[in-house]
Structure 1
Amino acid sequence: MSYVYNFLIETVQFFGGFSSLMSEKMRLFYKGRKGVLQAMDEWNPGKKVIWMHVASLGEYEQGQPLLEELKSHFSDYAILLSFFSPSGYEIKKNNTLADKTIYLPLDTKGNARRFLKSQDFAMAIFVKYELWPNFMFALKAQKIPALLISARFYQEHILFKPHGYLLRKAIGCFDTIFTQDENSQKQLKNFLPHLNAVQSSDTRYDRVVEIAAKRKELPWAQNFAQDEFTMVVGSSWPEEEDLLLALLASTKLKLIIAPHQVNPKNINRITALFENYKVQCLSSYKADEETQVLVVDQIGLLSSLYFYGNCAFIGGGFKTGLHNTLEAAVYAKPILIGPHYSAFPEVVDLVQNGGVQIVNNAKELEKSIEHWMSDAKTTAHLGAKNYDRIQAKKGATLQILEKIKNTLDH
């Protein structure tokens, strides 16, 4: 199995020479890795290095609370951050939490050995799913402590299949594995009882608590929402927007819509969809009492916007990629989502707790909203369920930080 894997990785590396013939994303994938090992050889931080690796932007968000604590409490160490995907690196390459941010070299034996010999590594921290066998074996060989955080495993994961032998060998190189949930810990304990698997929750709970504490003040949102029941619609797709159009035909409320795609073509489509109602875009918004639909055609506001609504409707639940529900839950808002959520354990938990409700069609959406509009006590109670759940789940970052401190002190 290892021979096949190494052959495939070497083949992927070979095709980097033809990256000019590939898609823009693949060109970035290869171009970004060119010269990384030399850059690592030349980097001279003057201290030991704590290395965090993430796949992309979502995993970065999970690791960010820990990065902030590392920067604050471990100033005697340099922090290295690596990405696998261009979609994460290109957005966060200029972040201020890491002393150096790079693409992870491809997982060949030679790359892994050279990479780890380039610096005096004190520890490696991998986030969620990242299991790169040659890097893991090299970490083990050089006796560099390694942690896997916010890990999640399910019964059908390749790790537990006969052909997952190489990954099982690789995951055994971690000193401690911090899982998001009890089920992941049980799966590891059942199949791989020798592993040190600890349930610690998901660092994203810590992240949303932090975001809420530092939320942006948005006076225009407060003024827009203050007189009527207002729903904040986060990362919407056409499926959610069509239901909202039907809702407005029967129910008087206000909508703040922050679509998943904010390009001009999509913004124009949304404003045309709601043309029978007073609709404005944020970029040209002029406050008045008649505007019923406000389309947010800017990015970076959604995590603060949820504070100003009476409830939230999170997009993606009619596809397979439900967006972040925790950002709304932390503000004690009741939440509506589409039916496809089972792949997201944090959402399953909120649904079971009662603060997130499922809608399958326009009729169910109308029923939920009219109930919440007519019963403020119930609305507040459901929102409180979400808030309490977030507060109960936070704390993973401090638990992991304690492990890091104990490891580095020895």
Structure 2
Amino acid sequence: MTIEVTDSACGQIGHLDSEPLLYRYSSTGNHETGRERRVSLTGSTVAFRANFASNQSAPSPAKSDLSDSCANQYAGLNRRTYRTVAERCVIEFSSTESPAVKGILFNLVYILGILCALPWLLYRRFRYGKYREGWSQKLGGELPIRTSDANPLIWIHAVSVGEVIQLKQIVDGMRSLDPSLEFLITTTTETGFQVAKEKLAGCQVSYFPLDFTWTVRKALQRVRPSMIVLVELELWPNFLAEASRSKIPVAVINGRMSDQSFNGYRKIRSLIKPSLQDLSLVAVQSEETRNRFVELGSRSDLVHVTGSIKFDGVEIDPSNPNALQLRDFFQLKESEFVWVAGSTQSPEEEMVLDIYLRVLNHLPKSRLIIVPRHPERGTEIAEMIERRGFNVIRRSSPSQQLFDESRKAVGLLDTVGELKACWALADVAFVGGSFGNRGGQNMIEPAAHGIPVSFGPNTRNFRQVVELLLKAEAVKRVADATELEEFIVQSCKNPDEALAMGERAKDLISKQQGATKTTCQLLLNLLGRNTAAAPEQSNAA
């Protein structure tokens, strides 16, 4: 697409090409020194100023290619100055919408949002012990200071536990290609912070600064990263604008955009478009997500389909030490049929426990392990279990394991980072977050173990993955508690059918792997640490 730049007195004086990002200026006729022309460019006004030596006529019509790999395309253009020796002129781009004004407006919106949410934040702080750590980093930008420029420093941000767990394969993959790389990992949640500390050896770990102008500016000045990588989708406008002003490339990896998110972003497209145009690379899970990024404003040549790195991060060894330790801890016997309900949220625990009471009538040798999405709810869930007459084997309280041997025990895995290993214990799985408004949780991990997997009707956050699995008849979507109960019972009574479903899932997942390698290569290309050509786009869904 070409945008014509015109002047009311002189007619056409040049044009801008949007793909690739290449600016061309054509001088025509004689121009006064310092004459300024203002043109409308998709909603933003930019200034074109042609400066020539005093009393010198403009040169004959000519074209100069003025490339800029970092500037935004249409709106919110950062100030740039280009010199063309042949024409001896300066073309100056400057947005009439001041970035400082935008930053202040966003600051006010954030402050208002925090004030509105303050009662809820205080409740969770005192009820669950949340939001007590990292405030010097979140509000003050006191992130680790980079003391040496000897090696590239990659700043990777992952919101919470699920995204943090995916990072190990990315960090390991990039280190295998370039051992000199250093990493700073930031996260938003305390559980994510703890998992990053535990799982990502050799990486600095910190909390992500809140998106206030003063906070992100100080954080970036202290860290001075060679590149910033955002996992899935984190569009914080002040942070991205400051990174752009500092000429730091920013990439999104494993990008996904649900129907709900896409519809919401479309309503504020003019606000998020500058942030999307600040991105130097977008690696997404599917072609549909690629189209959505492009429609919202991302440059199409910078958006690559890599598939989901979640397919690469699965652990499928049932004999791994963590799984064996959990088997011993929950006192599971080889003859018992084990049902793991993972990533559950209220009211799914109540539903699962009521189903288990009925299932015991058909399967007296069955066992249930509940793994809540939020471990801080452990005490609340333990009380639910006890009210139904079960003993509780609680992972967070290993010293409190004395109970009535005549009662059935339910396992409660209320710790962080152990769900992956727990799936290896299951004969059948239920993935939570799918009967409420959460939009589902990761069903790839249990499916990779070759076991029958079920989930509820609300899985919008994993729509492409769910469609793949359902098409292959590799999982079961249940509409309500009755269907879930039937699925659990049938999985035990018809082991051949359950095994066949699990094998279909396992085979499908193995065919979807490879996103991590592609993503790492794209990141190194962006960093300029690898001369290989950019990988071909994946056909993954």
TM class, shorter-length: 0.7 to 0.9
Contact 1:107–1:132 (CA under 8 A) maintained in structure 2: yes
Alignment-mate amino acid for residue 203 of structure 2: D
Q: What displacement does 1:307 show?
A: 1.9
Specify the alignment match of 1:394 in structure 2: 513
Specify the alignment match of 1:226 in structure 2: 334
Q: Which among 346, 368, 372 is matched to residue 256 of structure 1?
A: 368
Residues of 2 paired with 1:220 and 1:209: CA distance? 15
Q: What displacement does 1:170 show?
A: 1.0
Residues of 1 paired with 2:250 and 2:467: CA distance? 30
Q: Which among 76, 80, 83 is matched to residue 180 of structure 2?
A: 76
The answer to whether the aligner puts 1:371 opposite 2:490 as a matched pair is: yes
Contact 2:340–2:371 (CA under 8 A) maintained in structure 1: no
Residues of 2 paired with 1:372 and 1:14: CA distance? 51
Change (3 A) 1:13 1:26: farther
Change (3 A) 1:6 1:397: farther
Alignment-mate amino acid for residue 157 of structure 2: H
Residues of 1 paired with 2:298 and 2:175: CA distance? 34
Specify the alignment match of 1:203 in structure 2: 309
Specify the alignment match of 2:61 in structure 1: none
Specify the alignment match of 2:435 in structure 1: 318
Change (3 A) 1:159 1:94: same
Question: What whole-Å deviation, never above 9, does each CA across 1:110-148 have from its counterpart, x for those lacking one?
Answer: 544444344553221111121122332333344333210
Change (3 A) 1:339 1:160: closer
Change (3 A) 1:252 1:365: farther
Contact 1:232–1:257 (CA under 8 A) maintained in structure 2: yes
Contact 1:239–1:318 (CA under 8 A) maintained in structure 2: no
Q: Which among 460, 467, 473 is matched to residue 342 of structure 1?
A: 460
More relative contact order in 1 or in 2 (CA 8 Å, sep 6+)? 1
Q: Which among 356, 359, 362 is matched to residue 244 of structure 1?
A: 356
Q: What displacement does 1:200 show?
A: 1.3
Residues of 1 paired with 2:139 and 2:442: CA distance? 34
Contact 2:146–2:224 (CA under 8 A) maintained in structure 1: no
Unaligned runs of 5+ in 2: 1-96, 532-541
Alignment-mate amino acid for residue 412 of structure 2: V
Unaligned runs of 5+ in 1: none
Alignment-mate amino acid for residue 6 of structure 1: I
Residues of 1 paired with 2:298 and 2:370: CA distance? 45
The answer to whether the aligner puts 1:381 opposite 2:500 as a matched pair is: yes
- The higher radius of gyration belongs to 2
Specify the alignment match of 2:289 in structure 1: 184
Instruction: Give secondary structure in 2 for the equivalent of 1:207.
Output: coil
Alignment-mate amino acid for residue 99 of structure 1: C
Instruction: Give secondary structure in 2 for the equivalent of 1:143.
Output: coil
Contact 2:316–2:449 (CA under 8 A) maintained in structure 1: no
Instruction: Give secondary structure in 1 for the equivalent of 2:210.
Output: coil
Specify the alignment match of 2:275 in structure 1: 170
Which region of structure 1 is more displaced relative to structure 2, 39-48 or 165-174? 39-48
Change (3 A) 1:383 1:210: closer
Which region of structure 1 is more displaced relative to structure 2, 8-17 or 49-58? 8-17
Question: What whole-Å deviation, never above 9, does each CA across 1:286-341 have from its counterpart, x for those lacking one?
Answer: 9xx98754423553543223223321122332222334322211111111222222
Contact 1:317–1:338 (CA under 8 A) maintained in structure 2: yes
Which structure has more helix as a fraction of its residues?
1
Alignment-mate amino acid for residue 318 of structure 1: F
Contact 2:456–2:479 (CA under 8 A) maintained in structure 1: yes
Alignment-mate amino acid for residue 235 of structure 2: L
TM-score, normalised to structure 1's length? 0.83
The number of residues matched between the two structures is 405
Residues of 2 paired with 1:221 and 1:214: CA distance? 11
TM-score, normalised to structure 2's length? 0.64
Residues of 1 paired with 2:150 and 2:316: CA distance? 31
